[in-house]
């Protein structure tokens, strides 16, 4: 895949609308996500390691908010069980089109269906692994609990949910520190103050972050018994929840 540099916010934009995963974002997404999310590539490769351990024979795997399919490909490379099927879902048509092409360019015996739909509307069942890699933060709070309940109900015993998110922190000192360190990370990756602030403004109404405690409470309410953070870098991280 060609890696096109993210320069979407390099010049002043007169009317900053709300953030969407449109054609322009999809085009630069691999560069954008790598330079914006601390630990992204580690999380992607370790989702593969979790797949190796948790994916069960004759089961389904769901990658919800799959974007270009990075987590799906990592899972597919590491699945060593028979008769597994991956469903990758995203409601952005430009992401889905690119995801399909990307996945088709790698050979594997594990089938993948890429579906353009809202993850709040899909019917899941017989799952041994579900991934929400930086997707839940784009749902309304009511839909967050609903989707987690659906995931719990779709999982087989010992099935796993991987939930990666940008976090907020109830301790304001820690919240500010980790927020600022994330900005340092972006600057170190070549983003200017203008690029950082324009993107932040666009994300403001669309991406609402929760604390780790809120995520754990929701997962517990959904029914999960074993819940903990397995990765964190600044205000980004990933939680596992096992049925
Ligand atoms: C930050 S990206 C996810 C990155 C991706 N999981 C990865 O590992 O590379 C968030 C994705 O979630 C999708 N998304 C947001 N809300 C959604 C919804 N309600 N249903 C389906 N997809 C959604 C967006 O279109 C976007 O592609
Ligand atoms: O908070 C930011 O600055 C981000 O860029 C975060 C984030 C995310 O976590 O999904 C937002 C949108 C892009 O898809 C990539 C990263």
- Which residue's alpha carbon is nearest to atom 14 within ligand 1? 65
Question: 173-214 pLDDT, tens per residue?
Answer: 999 999 999 999 999 999 999 999 999 989 998 999 999 999
CATH top class, domain 40-168+208-242 = alpha beta
Region of 158 please: left (phi>0), alpha (psi -120 to 50) or beta.
left
Atom of ligand 1 nearest to the CA of 143: 19
Q: Is the shortest distance between the CB of 134 and ligand 2 below 6 Å?
A: yes
Three-class secondary structure assignment of 172-211: HHHHHHHHHHHHHHHHHCCCCHHHHHHHHHHHCCCCCCEE
- Which residue's alpha carbon is nearest to atom 14 within ligand 2? 33
Q: Is the shortest distance between the CB of 103 and ligand 2 below 6 Å?
A: no
- Which residue's alpha carbon is nearest to atom 27 within ligand 1? 67
Task: Write out the DSSP string of 67-85.
Answer: TTTHHHHHHHHH--SSS-E
Tell the residue number behind the tokens 């933060």, with chain if given: 137
Cα distance between residue 89 and residue 91, in whole Å: 7
Question: 51-89 pLDDT, tens per residue?
Answer: 999 999 999 999 999 999 999 999 999 999 999 999 999
ipTM: 0.97
Pocket test for ligand 2, best of 95, 207, 238 (most atoms within 8 A of CB): 207
Question: 113-146 pLDDT, tens per residue?
Answer: 999 999 999 999 999 999 999 999 999 999 999 9
Closest alpha carbon to 50 in 146, 135, 133, 152: 133
Q: Is the pLDDT of residue 104 over 70?
A: yes
Q: Spell out the alpha helix ranges (H) of 15-78.
A: 23-36, 40-54, 70-78
């Amino acid at each position: 895949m060609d890696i096109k540099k993210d320069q979407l916010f390099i010049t002043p934009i007169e009317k900053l609308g709300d953030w969407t995963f449109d054609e322009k974002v999809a085009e630069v997404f691999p560069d954008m996500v790598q330079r914006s999310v601390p630990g992204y590539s580690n999380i992607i490769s370790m989702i593969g390691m979790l797949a190796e351990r948790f994916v069960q024979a004759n089961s389904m795997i769901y990658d919800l908010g799959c974007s270009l399919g990075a987590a799906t490909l990592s899972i597919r490379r590491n699945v060593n069980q028979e008769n597994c099927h991956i469903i990758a879902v995203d409601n952005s048509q430009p992401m889905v089109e690119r995801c399909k092409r990307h996945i088709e360019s790698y050979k594997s015996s594990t089938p993948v269906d890429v579906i353009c739909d809202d993850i709040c509307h899909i019917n899941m069942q017989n799952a041994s692994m579900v991934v929400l890699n930086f997707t839940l933060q784009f749902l309304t709070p009511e839909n967050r609990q609903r989707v987690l309940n659906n995931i719990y109900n779709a999982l087989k015993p010992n099935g796993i949910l991987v939930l990666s998110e940008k976090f907020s922190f109830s301790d304001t000192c820690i919240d500010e520190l980790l927020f600022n360190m994330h900005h340092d990370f972006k600057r170190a990756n070549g983003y200017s103050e203008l690029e950082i602030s324009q993107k932040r403004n666009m994300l403001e109404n669309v991406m609402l972050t929760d604390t780790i405690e809120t995520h754990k409470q929701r997962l517990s309410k959904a029914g999960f018994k074993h819940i903990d953070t397995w990765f964190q870098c600044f205000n980004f991280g990933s939680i596992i929840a096992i049925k």
